[in-house]
Structure 1
Amino acid sequence: MEVSEDTVQRIQEFVQNRQAAEKESAREPLRATNLQAYAHRLDETLRELQEQVQRQEDELNKLREIGSHGLLDISNDPWVRVAQARRAKKAYDSLLQSEDELPPTGSILPSLLAVADTSQLIKESKVSVTVTAEKLSTDRERLRVEEANLRDSRAIASGLRERIQQIRSTNARKQKQTPSQVAQDVAKEQKKKNKELDRASAALKVSLDSFIDETLAPMLAAEDLGGPTVGDALEVSDATLKAGYTAHGNPKKPKQPAEPENGAQQRIDQFLQRNNDSLNLTNKREAAATEVHELLDALLEAGNSYVDLKRDSAASRFLVRSKVAQFHPRDARRLRLIDFGRSLGN
């Protein structure tokens, strides 16, 4: 089948318009408003085509009615038959000269339209795949969280079931025992708990003493000498304690001893000075550690009662800042431990 030049030109124009539309669509992302506008245009085009088909069907029905009343009636008069033939020829000529608005049977326009629709569907499918992939990633993350929560819930439920079973077994065993046996079991359990508590308390006491002697004592000594507050300087060297602190709390620079003329006398003086410095540093650290130990022992022995402080020391201030002890509301020279277990006991 030969294709006319006019048809080829129209197809080329359609291809160019289609390419321009694709470029415009690539520059602008696909949005819901664009899809709605495109669907609205398709609906309008379909409605116009349906109206056009309906009009042509109405005209065809009218021609059929006219033909059934005039053309198909065979008359005996020859002039009437000639007039009918002329009218039919005129109608056929007008139909042949009119331009078809629909593509012919062998046209490639339907194929091009199908390709355009397929390309549009492919683009929409790619967008849908991207959105679905993002949603799938979110759903997988949520699934992992829900699975973790489910595992925790199952572990909690299993622990509760074991605890309930243990309590039931204990109650059943107690019901079978006599009151004396129950009392003996309770006494044994209490002794065991007391031993564990004593052992834990002893270990805690050793750790506390080690912390006070090795870490806390130098910082307390530095604060007593006018240095930084406990916790501001985590490491206080012996040289810093030896030199002391200024009125602003800054470490003093160590003094350089004068060199004597006699070398032997210099070595003797240096030896005596080192011994005196070591004794002073040891006394400062040990005094601070001893003061903390004595204060803690006095507070533990007093229980909820207040103890009288000999002086305002860095140790007492540190215990108050640490929420371990508290001053008397009206007398800062009295101190007592904070009752940590009162809320639990109540």
Structure 2
Amino acid sequence: MASSNETAVKNIREYAVEAHERQQSQMDVDASDIETRLDATRRELEERVTQHRIALEELRSAPQGSFHTKPSDDPRERLAQLQILRDAYESLKPSVPFLPSRNSLLPSLLAARTIQQTVSGTQEAITATKEQLKHSEQLLRQEESNLHDANLIATAMANRIERLRSQKEAKSQKTPQEVAKDLIDAKQRQKERYDEEMKKLGQAFEIFVDEQLAGMLAAEDLGGPVVGDMMDVDDDVLAIGFTQQGRLKTSKKHISEPRRQKRLDEIWGDTATTEEGQQLTEIDAAGRELRELIEDLFTSLVGSRSTDAYIELERESAASRFLIRARIAQFHPKDARKLRLIDFGRELDD
């Protein structure tokens, strides 16, 4: 048994030395020699597989009672099973392990397969690590942004607390009369600021009506497209007129002045004439009608204690329809001749 082990170790050492010498030596690769060695390795493996298959068939053909897969409950039979296992291990112990022949390419093939698997696994690990790194970088940027926002909020809150503390200390040192005077001055400054903003908004509204909205309202009142469908509307366009389909007439001939004056009186009535008796154009009349309508709506809302302050419309004009489409005003649910401003402090009615 000892000689068999020494022989196996000696063969392994000789094979390792020979493989190392072949690795260190530089030799030209012969393709035919590699093919021959591959064939020999294949035949060697096939012979080994055949031997294992024969041994397996012998085990399968053995009597069923000669070997049990489970330990027996009978102590004697169990002892016999253990002796069989011991004899099997003892018989395998001195056997020489299977080693490929000296000219076999099996070690090289196994090494190449191991290297290929290692390279493939490394590439997959690199790809997964890149994805994980990209995700981590995104999280880091998000957390840095959150930290920046949190720092800004903390700074703002600290400043606010400091201002409130200073104000509280300042108020504690003032008399009630001085505190009341400061509140009145603050409210007055706030009112002045609101009045200034209201003035700017009013000027912007007047410019918007005069330069853009009034012409489109006049075109819609004259049977043309609704507000927004025709952006450039001037007196020459209105003087030509529109077809029954709401399109601009192809003829460039203007409507006669008497007919145009009659049309103004029928649509806008007294709105088309100033207090001095001067006749306005269609654009001026439409703009004046819109301003008067908005003024009446505001007056009705301010003068009423409730938000259900409706005004009576003399006619359904382009101005009223525009306010409805712009969600600025709404009709009475039961009377389409009544109109009121929408209370923007509440939810819009459906």
Aligned to 1:76: none
- Corresponding position: 1:199 with 2:204: no
Match of 1:323 among 324, 327, 335: 327
Aligned letter for 1:336? R
Distance 1:181 1:14 in 2: 111
Shift of 1:60: 6.4
Shift of 1:108: 6.9
Q: CA RMSD in A?
A: 3.9
Aligned to 1:283: 281
**Contact 1:240–1:252 (8 Å) recurs in 2:** no
Shift of 1:333: 2.4
Which stretches of structure 1, 4 residues or longer, exceed 3 Å deviation after superposition? 7-11, 13-17, 54-57, 103-112, 279-282
| SS of residue matched to 1:329 | coil
Aligned to 2:115: 118
| SS of residue matched to 1:336 | strand
Alignment of 1:25-104 (within 5 A): 58-59=90-91, 101-103=98-100
**Contact 1:223–1:314 (8 Å) recurs in 2:** yes
Shift of 1:235: 2.7
Question: Any stretches of 5+ residues in structure 2 without a counterpart?
Answer: 1-17, 23-32, 44-55, 57-85, 265-271, 273-278
Distance change (3 Å), C-alpha of 1:207 and 1:55: farther
Shift of 1:323: 1.7
Aligned letter for 1:328? H
**Contact 1:308–1:333 (8 Å) recurs in 2:** yes
Q: How many residues align?
A: 253
Between structures 1 and 2, the one with greater helix share: 1
Aligned letter for 1:312? E
Question: Any stretches of 5+ residues in structure 1 without a counterpart?
Answer: 18-47, 49-53, 64-94, 258-268
Distance 1:113 1:283 in 2: 99
Alignment of 1:264-303 (within 5 A): 283-303=281-301
| SS of residue matched to 2:111 | helix
Distance change (3 Å), C-alpha of 1:60 and 1:251: closer
TM-score by length of 1: 0.62
Match of 1:337 among 325, 335, 341: 341
TM-score by length of 2: 0.61
Q: Residue by residue, what CA displacement relative to the aligned partner does 1:144-178 show, whole Å, maximum 9, x if unpaired?
A: 22322332232223222222322222222222211
Shift of 1:236: 2.5
Match of 1:236 among 233, 238, 243: 233
Q: Residue by residue, what CA displacement relative to the aligned partner does 1:240-268 show, whole Å, maximum 9, x if unpaired?
A: 322211111111113458xxxxxxxxxxx
**Contact 1:328–1:335 (8 Å) recurs in 2:** yes
Alignment of 1:160-175 (within 5 A): 160-175=157-172
Distance change (3 Å), C-alpha of 1:244 and 1:256: closer
Shift of 1:219: 0.6
Worse-matched range after superposition: 103-112 or 245-254:
103-112
